[in-house]
Chain A
Amino acid sequence: MREWLRWPVLRQLLGSDPLGRGQAARSAATDREHARTEDADAVVGSVCPYCAVGCAQRVFVRDGAVTQIEGDPDSPVSRGRLCPKGSASRSLVTSPDRQRRVAYRRPYGTEWEELDLDTAVDMIADRVIRTRDETWQETDSDGTRLRRTMGIASLGGATLDNEENYLMKKLYTALGAIQIENQARI
């Protein structure tokens, strides 16, 4: 067929698709397009990370990267729906603005510095131990047992998993840190 005979308008006028809503409007480029969800390597069951309605998500993965997140129609809670935030959660997890590296600011420093993760965890462990030692309260002035540090506090938890909150509360309590709080209060 000559090139000009493939013009959509001619196909619409001459072919079996006079309204131009089917075959006449298709092109090789159209045929090459397909949904990201079709060629996913895996579809993983998940839950929306924003509010507490708990809408179920399907996470589509290809080559080790998230390519799409959609509502899961099987959920008796959400029946496949997601709100604007839930619908945007693919960009939450794939955003180029997301931080990927540890950043360190030394006391009175004016800029961020690089620090490797292992060193950062080690330095934090040292600071926890030092602060705990320096602020330990074994008893109050009447000799009543306190067994705690008032020098270390923590904030956050409502955006985390139950398992994460559990390890936090367990570790902090063993350390004697009691000023442990999250968004449920504020």
Chain B
Amino acid sequence: MAEAHPVGFQWVMEAKRRGAKIIHVDPRFTRTSAMADTFVPLRAGSDIAFLGGLINHVLRGGHHFHEYVVNYTNAATIVDESFADTEDLDGVFSGFTGDAYDPASWSYQGSRVNPAAGERDQWNDVLGASEHDRAAAAGGSTPRAEPETDPSLTHPRCVFQILKRHFARYTPELVEQLCGIERWRFHEVAEALVANSGRQRTTAFAYAVGWTHHTVGVQYIRAASILQLLLGNIGRPGGGILALRGHASIQGSTDIPTLFDLLPGYIPMPSAHPDLSLDDFVATNAADKGYWANMRDYVVSLLKAWWGEYATAENDFRFDHLPRLTGDHGSFRTVIDQIEGRVRGYFVIGENPAVGTANAHQQRMGLANLDWLVVRDLNMIETATFWKDGPEVDDGETSPTEIGTEVFFLPAAAHTEKDGTFTNTQRMLQWHHKAVEPADDQRSDLWFFYHLGLRIKSKLAARRLERDADQRERDRPVLELTWDYPTEGAIEEPSADAVLREINGTDANGRALSSYTLLRSDGSTRSGCWIYCGVYAEEVNRAARREPGQRQSWVAPGWGWAWPANRRILYNRAAADPAGRPWSERKAHVWWDERQQRWTGHDVPDFEATKPPDYEPAAEARGPEALRGTDPFVMQGDGLGWLYAPAGLRDGPLPTHYEPQESPLSNTLHTTQRNPARQLYHRPENRYQPSGAEPGAEVFPYVFTTFRLTEHHTAGGMSRWLPHLAELAPAMFFEVSPELAAERALRHLGWATVITARGAIEGRVLVTQRIRPLRSNGRTLHQIGIPWHWGPNGLTTGDAANELLGVALDPTVHIMETKAGTCDIRPGRRPRGPELNRLVATYRARAGITEHTGGDAPTPDGEKRDDGTPDSGTTTAEGGGDES
């Protein structure tokens, strides 16, 4: 955090000054470790074992925050008797079908509940929409089915008991064995966590992509959630699990998603189902209870924002204008579809996949097989120049005259040259004002997409008469799209303010709405992103507010605007006890004011303002009204924090330790080596390496993990062209321990080459005690740290770490594993020209790598299976079960 988010880290130091204990867990000793009270080095890829050990410590010792756990989590809920745990089935949960899970057996006894995020449609796939759901979506008043509970937490199938059994083997000894963390160090952390949680104190976890870039990434976060819920550290000041995100508006681009599976405000993109109506869609995706029960209000308001007067109750508000998904359409699938000729046109907007995405060679293969490519960026990044001087051209593998991709490079305007909002990592929108005009052809992306949209609309309108009825119908969603924004200045820049106001939404009279609670499903309201409703309340751009922090409370509600409703801590009802009183004066945040009969406090309460703590819903109640006065997690279908996730994940209701896709170790917890539901692509350019005891694993004996530097940003597009930053961090390097340097004859500041089954890259050697060998599973394990900012263009150049990485994905969110892989390292520079590929091929041959390596299921003859589909050549998607 001190390195990648240094200015945010000032608050950690502030906490330390006030007596907080800082614990840093990382494979590498960094500036964060230097400032921490305790540094815990661990093996990359072993965090679930570590967190599971902490969970077991809490449960075994009875250290959980009992009153919080009983009232605010699903600890008491009883799970269906058909559920079987990984502890019962040697590393798989019930419902495993060979490459994916049927989650039906994970559900609560006597009731099912839709998840607030993740795979919401999976129930529809499994069960189909029930009559009950359809009735509920239509506003019916069927009594709710409530799951069975046991508040004594003793029922053998209650979540609390399931957790205890699931984590019982995650002992300090196991943690030492799997993570390489000594027992005394583990105990120090466990005891500090317990001592610092409860009524008087709270503990926060901060993480970044070191936790998410794994084939079990979602389950890493789930493990932290379980621990924090058990300790009562969610929804309270000083608590939480804080994602430290890495781009200025990566939170915003998730909220208003340029992501395939979402519509604005975390509404799922509809999947293809026969005769899917708006009501069916809502029925299968919305919850009965809590604010997701109002999904129809959000969806209709979005459709009205997009298709305006054309969206009416009679035509389902143009729900059929939305395209339909059929499985995973994430960016790795897309690149394979580029290589195979299905995707022909590609926009790349402020991203640099030619060096910035795992298996960069595969990315460039995709780029080279397009009909047309549009790149918009500040600098001439590798994604725009791959055809001219990319590694494949340098190596003589291909040449510009063999690459047919038509490339448009359009220079972008910088943040100082346009108005707009970024949403930071705490969900806060901040407006940046235009300071100067962009020069020459430089334009904002707002300008580009607005004018591109105008141009497309006018061309489609012009050809209308030549088209047959079906073709005209196809163009209708574009022609009916609301696209009327005022423009400013000579370049006709569309007004970002007007776009933000559309995102906020308006009422039937065209006035800006002040809250998402005012949205209606009758078509009278419009809102482009329901969770952002209120950012333009009373016609004021609240993202632009800059009331100085020193003149405000520590919550600082007058600076910017945080979604939803300017709440700074989500689910803050949990900051008060069931009776509505603060757990302690020290940790007071929001509370029930008996005299005023409403919730009040330092923050905007994340709860219905006048619902008393002793409120009990009627049997027919639905939506927020169906939640009790003690249910703080208002987006959840049962109002509770989920220690156990009965739905929403593709790889199980609980986190389980699996080895990374590529690991030098065998999984000693159970015989299931890797996450059985992970997504793989067995392809010639994406070969996997053997692991553990598999023959050939010794060819890649070292663990590597990628990381960021303070002086560079992501794939370098915004930092490698800057003289100061290029001088501060001037060269690609590998961080290795003195022991590994001795083992492989690596010289400090000399050259080394790192090799995997995908590629070989060179860099300078940095020999440092900051990275130490670990003892793990009885052997000495060396780890290598590799920064990933470099590429061939810019002022500082070097090989890209992404040449090394293969594509193996978390099944729920389709995020790749970059934080734990295996490799070899040797002194000297890498070969040039055809010799480079020959070197990598030699390694593949030595390790005996085939198209089956890294897969799971043996076929009857003992060979690994080959489930390549006929139409996709050698492509195989394993796990996830969502090949389209």
Interface set of A (CB-CB < 8 Å, partner B)? 42, 44-57, 59, 61, 64-66, 69, 72, 74-79, 81-88, 91-93, 95, 97-112, 115-117, 120-129, 131, 134-136, 138, 140, 142-148, 150-171, 173-186
A149–B502 CA distance with the chains assembled, in angstroms:
26
Query: Could you say which residues of chain A place their CB within 8 Å of the CB of B338?
Result: 153
Closest to A142 in B: B274
Contact of B549 among A65, A74, A116, A148 (CB under 8 A): A74
Return the chain A residue nearest B387 by Cβ: A105
Stretch of B171-179, B455-463, B753-761 on the interface side: B455-463
In the complex, B276 has a CB within 8 A of chain A = yes
| Of B256, B425, B816, the contact of A166 (CB 8 Å cutoff) | B256
A104 to chain B, nearest CB (A): 6
The 8 tightest CB contacts between A and B, nearest first, are: A76-B549, A54-B424, A161-B420, A157-B258, A156-B349, A148-B323, A158-B247, A156-B351
Segment of B578-586, B691-699, B707-715, B736-744 in the binding face: B707-715
- What are 30 sample pairs from A and B whose C-beta atoms fall under 8 A apart? A44-B433, A46-B415, A50-B713, A61-B435, A66-B436, A98-B411, A98-B414, A102-B408, A102-B410, A102-B441, A107-B404, A117-B441, A128-B456, A129-B456, A147-B474, A154-B348, A156-B258, A158-B247, A163-B446, A165-B249, A168-B445, A169-B263, A169-B264, A171-B483, A174-B481, A178-B269, A180-B258, A180-B259, A180-B260, A185-B815
- The answer to whether A54 and B428 touch across the interface, beta carbons within 8 angstroms, is yes
Contact A53 B424 (CB under 8 A): yes
Is A85 in contact with B441, judged by CB distance below 8 angstroms? Answer: no
Other-chain contact of B459, A93, A125, A168, A179 (Cβ < 8 Å) = A125
A81 to chain B minimum Cβ distance, whole angstroms, is 5
How many Å lie between the Cα of A186 and that of B254 in the bound state?
12
Contact yes or no, A164 B415, CB < 8 A: no
**B:708-754 near A, CB below 8 Å:** 710-714, 718-719, 721-725, 728
Highest count of chain A CB atoms <10 Å: which of B258, B322, B401: B258
Contacts of B499 in A (CB 8 A): 163, 166-167
Q: Shortest CB–CB separation between residue B150 and chain A, in angstroms?
A: 39
Q: Which of the 9-residue segments B159-167, B370-378, B611-619, B764-772 touches chain A?
A: B370-378
Q: Give every chain B residue within 8 A of A84 (Cβ-Cβ).
A: 6, 710-711, 724-725, 728
Complex Cα spacing A145 to B444, Å:
35
Interface string of B843-868 (1 = CB under 8 A from A): 00000000000000000000000000
**Docked-complex contact B7 and A47, CB < 8 angstroms:** no
Q: Within 8 Å of chain A (Cβ to Cβ): is B331?
A: yes
Q: What would 7 more interface pairs be, CB under 8 Å, given A53-B7, A98-B442? A: A53-B5, A78-B10, A102-B410, A127-B345, A127-B406, A147-B477, A183-B246
CB neighbors of A among B552-576 (8 A): 552, 556, 559-560
B556 x A76 contact (CB < 8 A): yes
Known: A99-B378, A107-B406. A158 touches B253 (CB 8 A): yes
- Nearest-neighbour CB distance to chain B for A72, whole angstroms, equals 8
Across the interface, which residues of B come within 8 angstroms of A87, CB to CB? 724
Residue in B244, B252, B380, B532 whose Cβ sees the most chain A Cβ within 10 Å: B252
- A184 near B724 with CB under 8 A, answer no
Residues of A within 8 A of B349 (CB): 154-157, 160, 168
With known contacts A51-B713, A54-B422, A146-B323, A161–B430 Cβ distance under 8 A: no
A173 CA / B322 CA spacing, docked (Å): 7
B339 near A: Cβ within 8 Å?
A: no
Q: Are B5 and A91 in contact (CB under 8 A)?
A: no
Q: Is the CB of A101 within 8 A of B249?
A: no
Residue of B nearest to A91 (CB): B722
Do B254 and A184 touch (CB < 8 A)? Answer: yes
Q: Is B416 engaged at the interface, CB distance under 8 Å to the other chain?
A: yes
B411 touching A163 by the CB < 8 A rule? no
- Interface size, chain B (Cβ < 8 Å): 164
Q: Which residue of B lies closest to A61 (CB)?
A: B435
Contact between B8 and A156, CB atoms less than 8 A apart? no
Given A120-B410, A142-B274, A165-B258, A44:B434 Cβ within 8 A:
yes
* Smallest beta-carbon distance A163→chain B, Å: 4
Return A78 CB to nearest CB of chain B, in Å: 5
**Is B346 a contact of A183 with CB atoms below 8 Å?**
no
Cβ-neighbour of A173 out of B323, B345, B443 (below 8 A): B323
The closest CB in chain B to the CB of A106 belongs to B406
Check A151–B456 contact: CB distance below 8 A: no
Q: Which residue of B lies closest to A90 (CB)?
A: B416
Give chain B residues whose Cβ lies under 8 Å from the Cβ of A121. 448, 451-452, 455
Q: Is the CB of B424 within 8 A of A158?
A: no
A86 to B258, CA, bound (A): 25
Q: Which residues of B contact A110 (CB under 8 A)?
A: 388, 400-401
Among residues of A, the one whose C-beta sits closest to the C-beta of B793 is A97
Known: A127-B372, A129-B460. Contact between A163 and B378, CB under 8 A? no
* Cβ A85 vs Cβ B710 within 8 A: yes
B456 & A125 in contact (Cβ 8 Å cutoff): yes
Shortest distance between the CB of B796 and any CB in chain A (Å): 12
Q: Are B274 and A144 in contact (CB under 8 A)?
A: yes
Residues of B363-413 whose CB lies within 8 A of A = 371-372, 374, 376-380, 384, 387-388, 400-411
Complex Cα gap A121–B449 (Å): 10
**Which residues of A sit under 8 angstroms from B428, Cβ to Cβ?**
54, 77
